[in-house]
Amino acid sequence: MASQAERSHPSANHYDIVIVGAGPVGLMLSTCLARWGYKIKHIDNRPEPTATGRADGIQPRSLDLLRNMGLKSPIMAHKPARVYEVAFWDPPTGGKGIARTGTWASCPEFIDARYPFTTLLHQGLIERVFIADLEKNNTTIQRPWTITGFTSDEKADPEYPVSVELSHVDGTFKESVKAKYLFGGEGARSFIREQLKIGITHKDPIAYVWGVMDGVVKTDFPDIKMKCTIHSEHGSIMVIPRENNMVRLYIQIASSTDPDFHPRKTATVEEVQASAKRILQPYSIEWERVEWYSVYPIGQGISDKYTLDHRVFLGGDACHTHSPKAGQGMNTAFLDALNLAWKIHAVEGGLADRKILETYEPERKDVAENLLAFDNKYAKLFSQRPPSGNEVAAATAKKVAGQEAVEENEFIKTFKESCAFTSGYGVAYKPNTLNWSPEHSAQSSVIHPKTTTLVPGCLFKNADVTRVVDANVVHLEQEIPLNGAFRLFVFAGVPSVTQQALKDLADNMAKKTSFYGAFARPDADSVSHHERHNPHSRFFTVCTVFAAPRNTIEISRDLPALLARYKDNVYADDRWSRTHPDARAAAHAKMGLDEERGGVVVVRPDGYVGVVVALEEGSTTVDALNDYFGAFASKRLGDAAQEKL
């Protein structure tokens, strides 16, 4: 991973950023920025990481992200539970007790996830993985410390506009620091949000009170290791398996339809266990151990703003609260932080104009609003009627060549949307300066080739390819680590066909006024030949994928020197794919790019497609890329730069 020389600051109490809260959102932000060389003051008001309870679900897309950061292995070392299917239990027609009415994949094949399951692991263990990584980058969490006040005034101090007052929770020690940014990842009761007088819009009044209990049980209920939604005449339970033979049960304690409903209603462990026993009849359940128990009313709320001045930001539970049952809290928090992290890096590293920070709130608030809407819609989906077996089959199947298409009704459509959303793959950022839809105002014949199946604002697709230098079969989408750089995937088609186009691409990229040449590393001449991802620029990593068998590719012959420098990132698109069994180059085919002529895909540092450009001879391709990056770059690029000269 590229790590930047530590920036100089005027004094020891000047920081790039102050991060308040070391839950998922704060830790993700801190981990990214620490890796990229920023100086961080990170505090949390708890003396230790989360000890028990709280969030525990890592969705498939988050697991991709964690792998991209090299954090998947240490998380998996804890042997988390994996949820592949969800089972539905209801009162049997004309009988007593409960019966299974259906099961379906929690991340069906059509999602095309690398890891089509939800990973369940105690939040504290996940936090510790991040904390260990932070320590490798000389960043520690200062505990138990809290924020007592702050001001932000860009006019008074354009470089370090934020002043923050910090204090040990017992008040014995205090610190005043200056920072370029302040981030509030303090959870639902955010001091920073309150100080900024940013309101919360609540969707509905609190309608349910739930108990949540983690523990080890003995039961003959057959689906205790599956995620289950159980409705009975005695109430409702949700079952979530955990690591170490544990299970989490969400048990409904009160509903607004109850005659004596009160959102502050509570219940003891014993009451909740007795309730669970009634609901699970005719099956038995006994607790060997209770690790954690809590009762909470479920309210849905969303912060009106995520920032006022683009210096003080909020993210995670400080911005959105909702039911924990869909397992979305931690995942949404991760992605809030990731979205902000790379944009701060782009600005502070010198690539982007400060206005790029204005895309954080609309991109992430839109996701939060969808999350809250989903929370309701999903519940309704199941309360209406149990779906038929055919519907489930149609909704979950991956389209395989040769199979018949099944008509999609409303149920199937809603279900598919839900799966895409809960798996994390459904996040679609709307068109903006970073995500260029086919309708983008910069009309160019090469932007967004008609055939491409990639969608700007959506994740880059996964594909298996063979790395040329060592013949390793790899996951293309994982080949560039989360290094804060934009990813240029040059799908280079057939070498003999694209030879001139590749030469022109390299020649035009090499120009000092191109997006690539304009942001060269000042130390490019002294970079080690082992540097794989950032030899020329900290802001771009290049991969080339040929539609040819590996053993026919000769990097020094088939690529111009600029692209050949990324020799560890040159691939052969020569792996068979079940979804594209007849394609000669399955990855090209999957992206909807010409198998002979290829195309260039720009992927944002967070993994979302920015723009797709045809690979053509002449300067057209780089002109289009200059247009794209020029829209938010800190310098004029391409023709615009020429004019200026």
Q: Rule CB under 8 A: which residues touch a copy of itself? A: 73, 76-77, 81-85, 103, 117, 216, 218, 220, 222-226, 241, 245, 466, 469-473, 529-530, 550-551, 554-556, 578
Give the C-alpha distances (Å, rounded to integers) separating 165 from 154, 171, 185, 190, 370. 17, 12, 16, 15, 35
Q: Which two tokens stand for residue 226?
A: 């599956």
User: Sign of the C-alpha dihedral, residues 182, 183, 186, 188?
Assistant: positive
Which tokens in the block code for residue 456?
């700007």
Supply the minimum distance, in Å, between the C-beta of residue 72 and a copy of itself: 11
Residue linked to tokens 């999609």: 408
Minimum distance from CB of 420 to a copy of itself (Å)?
20
* Cβ closest to a copy of itself, residue 282 vs residue 618: 282
Region of 101 on the Ramachandran plot (φ > 0 left; ψ -120 to 50 alpha; else beta): alpha
Asked whether 609 and 431 are in contact (CB, 8 A), the reply is no
**Cβ proximity to a copy of itself, 444 vs 577, nearer residue:** 577
Nearest distance from C-beta of residue 464 to a copy of itself, angstroms: 13
Q: What is the DSSP letter of 22?
A: -
Query: What is the smallest separation between the CB atom of 88 and a copy of itself, expressed in angstroms?
Result: 11
- In angstroms, the CA 379 to CA 383 distance is 6
Residue number, 181 or 415, with CB nearest to a copy of itself? 415
Distant-in-sequence, close-in-space partners of 536: CB < 8 Å, separation ≥ 6:
516, 520, 521, 524, 527, 562, 565
Q: Which residues pair with 296 in a beta bridge?
A: 210
Alpha-carbon distance values, 454 to 139, 179, 212, 486, 502 (Å): 37, 39, 40, 16, 22
The backbone torsions φ and ψ at residue 138, rounded to the nearest 5 degrees and listed phi first, read 60, 35
Running DSSP on this structure, what letter comes out for residue 5? P
Distance, in Å, from the CA atom of 349 to the CA atom of 309, rounded to the nearest integer, reads 20
Please identify, using beta-carbon distances, which residue of 33 and 480 lies nearer to a copy of itself.
480
136 vs 578, which CB is nearer to a copy of itself?
578
Tracing tokens 């390793």 back to the chain, one arrives at: 472
Beta strand pairing status for 208-219 and 247-255?
Answer: antiparallel
CB atoms within 10 A of CB 327: 22
- Cα separation of 379 and 352, whole Å? 42
Smallest distance from the beta carbon of 325 to a copy of itself, in angstroms? 19
Please identify, using beta-carbon distances, which residue of 387 and 517 lies nearer to a copy of itself. Answer: 387
Q: DSSP labels for 118-141? A: EEE--HHHHHHHHHHHHHHTT--E
Q: Closest by alpha carbon to 367, among 443, 298, 315, 438?
A: 315
Task: Provide the CA 508 distance to its chain's centre, in angstroms.
Answer: 33
Q: How far is the CB of 365 from a copy of itself (least distance, A)?
A: 35
Residue whose CB is less far from a copy of itself, 218 or 355:
218
Nearer to a copy of itself, 49 or 241 (CB): 241
Of 85 and 271, which has the nearer Cβ to a copy of itself? 85
Rounded Cα distance between 44 and 185, Å, is 9
* Residue 244 to residue 294: CA distance in whole angstroms: 20
- Minimum CB separation of residue 214 from a copy of itself in Å reads 16
For residue 396, what are the β-bridge partners?
none
Q: What single-letter amino acid sits at 611? A: V
Q: CB of 148: closest distance to a copy of itself in angstroms?
A: 41
How many H helices and E strands in the chain?
16, 27
When the beta carbons of 197 and 529 are compared against a copy of itself, the nearer one is 529
DSSP string, 196-263: TT--EEESS---EEEEEEEEEEEE--TTTTSEEEEEETTEEEEEEE-STT-EEEEEEEEETTSTT--T
Q: How far is CA 295 from the centre of its chain?
A: 29
Q: CB nearer to a copy of itself: give 76 or 583.
A: 76
CB-nearer residue toward a copy of itself: 66 or 346: 66
**Shortest Cβ 100–a copy of itself spacing (Å):** 9
CA–CA distance, 102 with 386 (Å, rounded to integer): 8
Radius of gyration of the chain (CA): 26
